[in-house]
Structure 1
């Protein structure tokens, strides 16, 4: 398994785990209130930050455990990275358009923030799954 494939796995797990923690904490705070009335902003910011920091720390630990591993990216790594990012970016666009439409329709900021966060997570998940699939299943010549 290449270093870039390991990074894709780390980022995939970091995105899923941080979003799952966010959902558990926010849904645990409902306590009979309507969902938009639940305090969510601090939890959202902390889980995003923790997900990013966790992925960085995991990549550093991975590098420390395998100090002799090559960190060089070849053409295949760069192409897989670009294709995975392009595939994942579709959800960033979907989230941006959805948030814009929700704002124009006057939706509560809770829903707008959550659709953006969900789409960022889906972008990371889809993009990293695509990268892992390209590493595992071969690289098609498109």
Structure 2
């Protein structure tokens, strides 16, 4: 397994775990109150920060565990990275358009922030899945 393939797996797993933890943290805070009244900013920021930190720490740990592993990025890795990012970018656009429309009709900031975060997470998941699948099946030749 190449270093880039390991990185794709790490980021995929971290995105899912971090978002799940965020959803649980927000759900715990509801206490029979409407969702829009939940204090979500702290858990959202902690979730994003923890995801970034966890990705870095796990990548370092894997590098320390196997210091002689090659970190060379070849043409196949670059192509898989490019294709994965192209696939994932659709959810970033969907999230931006959804947030813009929600702001135009004065939706609560809770919903706007959460749709943006959800779409970032879906983008990370979709991009990660695409990369993992491409590493397993190979890059299609058109």
Same fold (TM over 0.5): yes
State TM-score, norm by structure 1.
0.99
Deviations 1:74-112 (A, max 9, x none): 000000001001100100000000000000010000000
Match of 1:109 in 2: 109
- TM-score norm. by structure 2 comes to 0.99
- Which residue in 1 is equivalent to 2:5? 5
In 2, Cα distance between equivalents of 1:124 and 1:53: 16
State how far apart, in whole Å, the 1-side matches of 2:140 and 2:77 are. Answer: 13
Task: Indicate the residue corresponding to 1:42 in structure 2.
Answer: 42
Deviation at 1:35, TM superposition (A): 0.2
The count of corresponding residues between Structure 1 and Structure 2 is: 142
Give, in angstroms, the shift of residue 56 of structure 1: 0.7
CA shift at 1:137, angstroms? 1.0
User: Residue 24 of structure 1 aligns with which residue?
Assistant: 24
Structure 2 match to 1:91: 91
1:2 shift after superposition:
1.1
Moved over 6 A (4+): none
Structure 1 position 26, deviation (Å): 0.2
